[in-house]
């Protein structure tokens, strides 16, 4: 996606006040997320052993940043989708409780633009659930709790900084990917997302990973953590860029049966021999629901910044840095 420069852009907050606002937003949202979902904060790794299969390979085609230690390949994480499930088992979390952590990642193959960075920071969270909660109504109930926290955060930011950013719709709308394709059959998946958030405001787009009636999935998803029938993304309309913005990706995780099915569909059966997959197949890991919520994206959205580099320190192409400077977009 090319760099978007909003017309006559000027940030509501200068750099110093922006830095303070970033901390206030993160502290407020994190506290409410922990309370709302009954989560406890834990420490998390920056890198993991490749041989364990714990690293999230996202769409299965993303290469990790790595180094070699003691003849073992060590990968910088992309997310902690699978590590969290192991942690819940290792720490013996009870059903109905869970964990969250500050996840920092490097995605070196990312195509950077207004909302994408080589550096990713998000709250990764995971919660132990019962077998009877492996269903759509439970997923939607968790989404509704998270969305209520987003609404609360919006009100907090507007009050604290005397802003008037009414960005979120009063409720979140649940939309199926096939339903969205049927509604906009001539558009690409990203174009469909933009149209639906412009129409409805805030959307939880469900069931991402399986092929739709056009023979293609709405988007790629790793086969070994989300159940593709019980997952989705929280999407909002971002007026500063006149575009869709994904704030969170989440879902009910695969059980052993769904793992085998999805790994077969992804032609990744050989990975079933890895440590994480063997633990799951041997029922050593709990049933869980979990996701990631973008920290910088949340700050960017609520402060209506034009570029994610205004709320996080990263590296950008020289041409992008120069253009942003000319247009009063202050990259950190």
Strands 202-206 and 173-176: what pairing? parallel
Q: Rounded to an integer, what distance in angstroms lies between the CA atom of residue 194 and that of residue 243?
A: 6
Q: Would you call 122 a catalytic residue per the annotation?
A: yes
Q: Would you call 323 a catalytic residue per the annotation?
A: no
User: One of 30, 85, 107, 224 is an active-site residue; which one?
Assistant: 107
Please tell me what DSSP assigns to residue 172: P
User: One of 124, 154, 233, 310 is an active-site residue; which one?
Assistant: 233
The beta-carbon contacts of 68-75 under 8 Å, at least 24 apart in sequence, are 73/49, 74/47, 74/48, 74/49, 74/50, 75/47, 75/48, 75/49, 75/50
Q: Would you call 233 a catalytic residue per the annotation?
A: yes
User: One of 176, 219, 243, 246 is an active-site residue; which one?
Assistant: 246
Q: Would you call 249 a catalytic residue per the annotation?
A: yes
Written as one string, the DSSP assignment of 52-103 is: GT-S--TTTTPPPPEEEETTEEEEE-S--TTHHHHHHHHTTPPTT-EEEEEE
Strands 98-106 and 39-41: what pairing? parallel
Q: Rounded to an integer, what distance in angstroms lies between the CA atom of residue 281 and that of residue 300?
A: 40
User: One of 30, 56, 193, 227 is an active-site residue; which one?
Assistant: 56
Contacts of 83 (CB under 8 A, 6+ apart): 44, 45, 48, 54, 77
Q: Give the helix ranges, DSSP H, for 212-306.
A: 256-265, 275-281, 295-302
User: One of 11, 249, 262, 295 is an active-site residue; which one?
Assistant: 249
Catalytic sites, residue numbers: 56, 107, 122, 233, 246, 249
């Amino acid at each position: 996606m090319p760099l978007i420069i909003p017309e006559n852009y000027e940030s509501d907050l200068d750099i110093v006040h922006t830095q303070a606002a970033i901390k206030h937003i993160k502290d407020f949202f994190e506290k409410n997320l922990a309370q709302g979902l009954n989560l406890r904060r834990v420490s998390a790794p920056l890198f993991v052993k490749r041989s364990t299969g714990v690293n999230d390979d996202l769409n299965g085609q993303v290469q990790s940043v790595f180094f070699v230690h003691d003849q073992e390949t060590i990968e910088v994480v992309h997310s902690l989708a699978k590590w969290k499930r192991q942690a819940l088992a290792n720490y013996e979390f009870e059903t109905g409780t869970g964990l969250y952590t500050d996840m920092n990642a490097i995605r070196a193959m990312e195509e950077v633009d207004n909302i994408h960075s080589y550096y990713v920071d998000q709250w990764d969270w995971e919660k132990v659930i019962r077998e009877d909660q492996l269903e759509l109504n439970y997923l939607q109930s968790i989404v509704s709790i998270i969305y209520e926290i987003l609404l609360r955060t919006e009100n907090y930011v507007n009050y604290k900084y005397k802003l008037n950013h009414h960005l979120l719709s009063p409720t979140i709308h649940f939309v199926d990917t096939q339903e969205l394709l049927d509604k906009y059959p001539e558009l690409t998946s990203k174009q469909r997302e933009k149209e639906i958030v412009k129409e409805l405001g805030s959307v939880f787009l469900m069931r991402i990973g399986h092929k739709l009636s056009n023979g293609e999935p709405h988007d790629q998803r790793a086969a070994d953590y989300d159940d593709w029938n019980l997952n989705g993304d929280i999407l909002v309309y971002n007026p500063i860029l006149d575009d869709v913005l994904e704030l969170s990706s989440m879902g009910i995780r695969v059980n052993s049966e769904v793992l085998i099915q999805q790994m077969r569909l992804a032609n990744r059966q050989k990975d079933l021999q890895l440590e994480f997959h063997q633990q799951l197949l041997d029922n050593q890991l709990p049933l869980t629901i979990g996701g990631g919520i973008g920290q910088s994206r949340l700050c960017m959205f609520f402060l209506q910044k034009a570029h994610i580099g205004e709320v996080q320190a990263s590296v950008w192409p020289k041409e992008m840095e120069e253009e942003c400077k000319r247009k009063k977009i202050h990259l950190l």
